[in-house]
Structure 1
């Protein structure tokens, strides 16, 4: 009786060279990340958080936009209702990460679950943009995401400290245009992902729905509503093609 041959395993790859490539690719973002982290540290200081609490939030929560949103909603005294409201708002802001992670799932799938859980802790919008471009170019070394994510995490934590020390000097990032840093970067990074006129409809629908939702509904629901609308249109477009 012959034993069945084992099925070939999908090739996985994570190298130090890939991690260094990820650090190099994400290095262009560092100035914007530093400014963003300083703004969060200053906002946290203005809300009365200690330096330890602020750094701990950056290290454990590690969700730039959601952290700034949390500071806008921060209260000196908390009720269970206020905590639930903050959780819903930040979950809505971060819900885009579900779609971003799903778009790269075929790349992640062959790797061990513990490794995916580890690198997804460091997964950000910047990682997704860098990873999407790298993967579309034929790259498969997961070290690119790991290196980029780890570097961003360390810089985010480090830059939070001077922000807290500066305190109220830049407590309102919008007064200095800091809130525009990341949207401008995302707009510039997403241009190379353009795949011709076929991609125009999902992008246009996502943008239009997000703008309309932002006008009609208070809060950050426009992020998830816009992204889901674009994803659905893109899925039906692919099926029809």
Structure 2
């Protein structure tokens, strides 16, 4: 019998996490297929597109990376794409920090795999499970693995059938992921005061996006939320 307080790992947890991630599939499929389409139109080879999906594995960063993609690379363009990817993905630092209490007793190899595969959707699945008293780390990894696999498959489909993939906004499919995030956040609600950092982060992101070009609004919102949370606590 596992302690309800001590984290553990099981294959049953892997299966549970994979099932819990099912609602995120439509958004993942549409986003990664759209990336595959854009990559093909940009002139990337299938290997290059799959390399980005497999190792960068972050929709926003992959799309931004395509904007600065060059057929002939120089040290400057390499530095540019590295910087842009790092800035857009900086939010992952916060996700990794929040799961530290859950993963701190895990083997290093499994920790590295969990943190490499973490996404907002997988994090929401795992955090909801953890806050409900669950401690099976397999849930976090199961959700992460199945989402990564779905991302790779949909990238391939988008690459080869991109011209046939309709514009997601035409059917409102661009709202799938925001709706998924919103629904998964509901169980995390613990009152107005703890939710203030969410409000601050959203407001700062919105204002920054309206006033400044680029993708700094993501970092600005994240930092504002962290600062707000520290001040409230």
TM-score by length of 1: 0.87
| Matched position secondary structure for 2:190 | coil
Change (3 A) 1:99 1:90: same
| Aligned counterpart, 1:165 | 160
| Aligned counterpart, 2:38 | 43
Structure 2 distance, partners of 1:47, 1:35, is: 18
Q: Residue 78 of structure 1: CA displacement? A: 3.0
Q: CA RMSD in A?
A: 2.0
Q: Write out the 4+ residue segments of structure 1 that deviate beyond 6 Å after TM superposition.
A: none
| Aligned counterpart, 2:48 | 53
| Matched position secondary structure for 1:82 | helix
Q: Residue 95 of structure 1: CA displacement? A: 0.6
| Matched position secondary structure for 2:21 | helix
Structure 2 distance, partners of 1:197, 1:155, is: 35
| Aligned counterpart, 1:219 | 214
| Aligned counterpart, 2:93 | 98
Contact 1:43 1:170 in 2 (8 A): no
| Matched position secondary structure for 1:14 | coil
| Aligned counterpart, 2:185 | 190
Q: Residue 189 of structure 1: CA displacement? A: 1.9
Which runs of 5 or more residues in structure 2 are unaligned? none
Q: Residue 206 of structure 1: CA displacement? A: 0.9
Q: What is the number of residues matched between the two proteins?
A: 229
Residues 1:86 and 2:81 aligned together: yes
Change (3 A) 1:17 1:149: same
| Matched position secondary structure for 1:49 | coil
TM-score by length of 2: 0.90
**Structure with max Cα Rg:** 1
